[in-house]
Amino acid sequence: MIYVNDKLVDLKDEKSTAGKEFKEALKYFNKIGFPITFKVKKKLLAKNETDDDKVFYTMPAYHIHHTSLVNTDWGTEFWRYTPTSPHEKNGALEFPTEGRYKAYTEKLISFKRNQADLIFFLWYKSNVFKHIYDIDDAKQVATDTVQRKMDSVRLDAIFFSQDSLLKGDEEKCTTIARAYNVSGVGAKSHNQRLIALEAIVRAKVKAKEITVDEFAESLQLDILTELSANINKAYEDKLILFDDGQNAFFYVNNKGEIGTKIVHVPISRTETKFNFLRDYFKSDQRKLNEFEDHIKNDSNPKLTIDIENLENLDWSKEILPYINAVGIKGTGASRKKAQVFEDIRKTYVAN
């Protein structure tokens, strides 16, 4: 039985919110097939060894209460599972001690169809349970395995088949590599770009950030793909730079100096800062026009810095933006400013 805010819920009432949720849960459970089995997450198992070097894993006991505070669009609800009915005492419901919690000690546990209300509570309402267990869906594992192998075969064809556009068209490969933020595209050979791009795309597909179909569609060079490529090239050519200290993109002006700030990137988006900049330009036509004018006019013939006066320059406003732009490592981990200045002079001479 399920109680919400101490009121018994009829899970068969499909007009109620809980009834609708339970109906969808049953569809999922029926698709997997009863009994429903859960397996403990591997990271929670403790590794042990016997005296003869045999390895085995043990699971600590977890006491999971059959109550949960659930956040909703309107506030919070107090959910409770109980196998037996409560009784009223002094005007309030008193729930039996039986079933208030359970000690979970098994690495694999199974529930039958007549325990559907308990499974529903544990899997959909108990964050503690989901922290400890994963659902053991053999059908889904098989489906995922087949899909993963099919994705791998398709990516092999896209990258390395005889009629591969990426392999046969160096210019297109360069553009797509930039669109997916392959670093140092201009300095890489065609095969190096191809391999680096493949690694990034496979990682994105594995992480379910994109599908193989979406990647294949991007090869047609849609607007977003071309914009991503232009941003990457502008960064590579040092027409724009990202200042880690300020978490912001800047233009580099026609004197090779740090120019106008483009946009501040939230800390939560720094890992995908190029995509953030792409979306920023796409949402503001005026800013996009400014960017396109900037890269067409080739406003950064060369980054410059007062090489004879490094020690007297402002570290935050002049040194940090410059070293971020040219890829010189900053201070930290026993690395002193003097080493940074030395690297700047070496790089400047090299350029």
Residues 128 and 19 occupy one common structural domain: yes
Residues 7 and 132 occupy one common structural domain: yes
Per-residue pLDDT tens for 287-339?
Answer: 898 898 888 876 555 567 888 889 999 888 888 878 876 778 888 878 899 99
- Residue 293 inside a domain? The answer is no
- Residue 77 inside a domain? The answer is yes
Count of all residues that appear for the chain in the document: 351
Averaged pLDDT, 95-108: 83
- Residue 185 inside a domain? The answer is yes
Residues 217 and 206 occupy one common structural domain: yes
Alpha carbon distance 173, 35 (integer Å): 50
Please identify, among 187, 208, 235, the residue that sits at the C-terminal boundary of a domain.
235
Alpha carbon distance 280, 292 (integer Å): 13
Averaged pLDDT, 212-240: 87
Please identify, among 235, 251, 280, the residue that sits at the C-terminal boundary of a domain.
235
Domain count, the chain: 3
Residues 195 and 155 occupy one common structural domain: yes
Match 């900037």 to its residue by tokens. Answer: 294
Pairwise pLDDT comparison (317 vs 149), residue with the higher score: 149
What does the longest C-alpha to C-alpha distance in the chain come to?
87
What integer pLDDT is reported at residue 124 of this predicted model?
93
The pairs formed by 238-243 with CB atoms below 8 angstroms and a separation of 24 or more are 238/300, 238/303, 238/325, 238/326, 239/294, 239/295, 239/298, 239/299, 239/300, 240/294, 241/321, 241/324, 241/325, 242/273, 242/324, 243/320, 243/321, 243/324
Residues 108 and 149 occupy one common structural domain: no
Residues 231 and 153 occupy one common structural domain: yes
Averaged pLDDT, 77-106: 85
Q: For the chain, give the percent of residues with pLDDT over 90.
A: 37
Q: Is the pLDDT of residue 350 over 60?
A: no
Residues 124 and 171 occupy one common structural domain: no
Q: Is the pLDDT of residue 351 over 50?
A: no
Q: What are phi and psi of 76, to 5 degrees?
A: -130, 155
Per-residue pLDDT tens for 66-91?
Answer: 999 988 777 889 999 998 888 888 87
Q: Is the pLDDT of residue 35 over 80?
A: yes
- Residue 274 inside a domain? The answer is no
Alpha carbon distance 271, 259 (integer Å): 23
Q: For the chain, give the percent of residues with pLDDT over 70.
A: 96
Q: Is the pLDDT of residue 233 over 70?
A: yes
Residues 132 and 187 occupy one common structural domain: no
What integer pLDDT is reported at residue 299 of this predicted model?
58
Match 């591997």 to its residue by tokens. Answer: 42
- Residue 208 inside a domain? The answer is yes
- Residue 7 inside a domain? The answer is yes
Note down the domain range covering 18: 2-136
What integer pLDDT is reported at residue 272 of this predicted model?
87
What integer pLDDT is reported at residue 300 of this predicted model?
59
Residues 20 and 125 occupy one common structural domain: yes
Please identify, among 80, 106, 136, the residue that sits at the C-terminal boundary of a domain.
136
Residue 349's pLDDT band (boundaries 50, 70, 90)? low
What integer pLDDT is reported at residue 87 of this predicted model?
85
- Residue 29 inside a domain? The answer is yes
Residues 176 and 103 occupy one common structural domain: no
What integer pLDDT is reported at residue 220 of this predicted model?
82
Per-residue pLDDT tens for 161-177?
Answer: 888 889 988 988 999 99
Q: Where are the beta strands (DSSP E) in 143-264?
A: 240-243, 248-252, 258-264
Other Cβ atoms less than 10 A from the Cβ of 177: the count is: 26
What integer pLDDT is reported at residue 42 of this predicted model?
87
Residues 210 and 184 occupy one common structural domain: yes
How high does pLDDT run on average in the chain?
87
Residues 78 and 188 occupy one common structural domain: no
